[in-house]
Amino acid sequence: MKFAFHIGTEKTGSSYLQALCALGREELSQNGIWFARGSVYDERCMATGQISAGNGRGLAQCVRLQRWDLVKRQLNTVIDEAQHRGCETVLFSSEWLLSVFAERALLEPFIALVQELGSEKTRFLLVLRDPVEQFLSLYKHRAKRGMGGDVAAWAQAGYRLPQELAGFREALHGFDAELAVRKYGRESGALDELFFRQWLDIDPPDAVVPATVNPSLTLSELELVRLLAERRPSLAIPLYDRLLAMDQKRKVQGRELDAYARAIAERAVAAYRDEWAEWNELLPAPEQLLVPQAEGELTAEPCEIAFSKTQMEALMGFLAESVEPRFLGKLFWTAKIRPFLAGVKRRILPGTRL
C-alpha cells in the first residue's frame, strides 16, 4: 500500500481539489486511488464545494494529540477500504497536516507507523503561492470574523506560514519520503493538471464542483467588520455575509488601504527571504516564487476607508434589519443556542459537528 498526502498550503485551491476528489471518489478508485472518507461535516462541505478541512482532519487531530493507537486504527481502516476496492494508493488531503508535520517529534513516529503498516513509499505534495499574494489572501480569510487585529497586528502575531514551512522542511530531512513542491496557478485547469495528471499520474475525475470557494471582502469591508466585532461580536459574521453577497463590480477597493496592506505584506514576507530561497530550490525553474525586498520607511496607516454608494446602502439596510425581532431571534439561535447544542452533541457523540 502507498500513502499520498496533499498538505496544502492554505489559499492554493485545496478546497477545490478536495471537493473534486470527494465527488469523483469512485472514479479515483477505478484508477487505483482510494480517497479516504472524512468526517460527516467535511464530507458535506466537500460534496457542496464549500471550504473544508478535507479528509485528513481527524488524522491530523489524532497525530497532534499523539494518539498513535487511534492513528493506527484509522490507517488500518482506510487500508482495508482501499484493498477491498482493489486500490494500491490511499490519498489524504488536508491543510491541517502541514502544521502537524512541521514538528519532527510528530512526523517521525507517523512515518514509522506508516512503514510498519507496509507502505512502500510515503509521498507528500506541497503547493505554494507567491508569498505576498498568499499573505494578503490569508489575512482576508483570517479577518472575516473580525478577529486577529488589523493587518499590521496580524503580520506580527498571526502570520505563521514561513515558520511552518521551515519546520516541515527540517522535519522531513533524512526520511525516505517523496516530496513534490509545485506553484499554485489561477489558470483554468492548472490545478487539475498539477494535482491529478502530474502528481497522481491519472486524469482528473469527470465531476463538477458545484460552488466557488473562498471568496473574500475588500480590506475596507474587513476593517469595518473588525471594528464592529470589537463592540458587537455577534454581528460580525452577519455583516460579513451581507457584504459578501454583494456584486464585486459595485464595490470600491480602497487603493490607499490596499497599498498599505501590500507594504506590510512585503515586509513580513521579506523577513523570511532565506526560507523562500530554500523552497525556490525545490520548485521547477518556471515556477519560482516572487519574493520582495522591502526597503524604506513604512507609511502611516491610512485614516480613511473606502465604500461605494452601493456598499453604504447595504450597510444601512443591515443596520435597519439588525434591530428587528426576527433578526434578533436568528442571532440568538446562531450565537447562543446552536453552539450550546453543538457542545452537547460533541459530548454525547464525539467526533461529530452540528
206-219: per-residue pLDDT in tens?
998 886 656 689 99
- 13-42 tens-digit pLDDT: 999 999 999 999 999 999 999 999 999 999
Please tell me whether the overall predicted TM-score, pTM, comes out greater than 0.85 for this model.
yes
Q: Under a CB-based contact definition with an 8 Å cutoff, are residues 90 and 1 in contact?
A: yes
Select the more confidently predicted residue: 348 or 190. 190
Least confident of 76-85, 298-307, 328-337: 328-337
Q: Under a CB-based contact definition with an 8 Å cutoff, are residues 214 and 141 in contact?
A: yes
- Residues 157-168 have a mean pLDDT of 97
- Residues 273-291 have a mean pLDDT of 97
Cell 521579506 appears where? 270
Q: State the Cα–Cα distance between residues 164 and 107, nearest whole angstrom.
A: 13
Least confident of 62-71, 125-134, 206-215, 243-252: 206-215
